[in-house]
Every structure is written in structure tokens, then in C-alpha cells.
Amino acid sequence: MAEQNSQVCTGGPKLIFACSGAADVGAVADQAARKLTRDGAGKMFCLTGIGGRIDGIMKTTQAASSILAIDGCPLNCVKACLEKAGFTTFKHLQLADLGLEKGKSPATEDNINKACSAAMPLL
């Protein structure tokens, strides 16, 4: 299955999976994914469905033209969840790489926009 999941088809949706964890950077990742969706850059999709191996969510993700994982902190839960489900072809944005530090980076408009700006070229 991992080999099948690593083959990303063209023409499918651009999917965005984001951390929505309890930390402030999880909120930034979540809100950035929602903003990117509102702006038409891609479509936020259900990471929990990947974790639960929900058939329809897995199939839609397999058919995606591109996948972006946005992790709030260096634990990289989004990346790990996708990889454990067999997805290997995706872009990854780690908010700590943008200077957004867990416990010190509230979900302000500036921080959300910073994450969106870094995400756009990855979609």
C-alpha cells in the first residue's frame, strides 16, 4: 500500500493537512490551513481520517495532485501520521523553521500570515 500511496496522481485536489494540537503553534498551523483554503490555494483535509484509515479520505488523499503537511512544533505529528499511512510524496512545512516557537507564538494574524506565505510556494 505504501508504494501505491507514494504515487500522487495529477489533476486531483491540492490537500493541506495541519496540526491542530493544543499548543499555540498548533493553532497557527490550523488557522493557516483554513486561510489557505479560504484563499483557494488548496483544501484543508482531515488528518484524523488519515490516522483512522478512513477509506474515502485515504482514496481522496491518494488521488491528490499535491499534499502539504503543516506541523506546528518539531514533534512533526502531521508528517508522521501521513508517513505511517504510507504517504511519502508530500511537502512539509515546520513552523519552528519560521521562528515560531512553541509556547511563544500565539495565533495572531501576523503569525498566521507568516505560515501562509511559507506554505504558498509548497502548494
Q: Structure pTM? A: 0.90
Q: What are the tens digits of pLDDT across the range 108-121?
A: 999 999 999 999 99
State the number of CA atoms in the 13 A half-sphere of 84 facing the CB.
13
Residue type, 48: T
d(CA 82, CA 110): 28
Mean pLDDT of 13-17: 97
Domains of the chain and CATH, by start: 2-122 (3.40.50)
- The answer, yes or no, to whether residue 54 has pLDDT greater than 70, is yes
Task: Give the chain's radius of gyration (CA, Å).
Answer: 13
Exposure b/e, 101-110, CB count within 10 A at least 16 = b: ebeebebeee
As a 3-state breakdown, the chain gives helix, strand, coil percent values, each rounded to 5, of: 50, 15, 40
Among candidates 96, 99, 101, 94, which has minimal Cα distance to 78? 94
Query: What does the pLDDT look like over 69-120, one tens digit per residue?
Result: 999 999 999 999 999 999 999 999 999 999 999 999 999 999 999 999 999 9
Average pLDDT over residues 48-74: 97
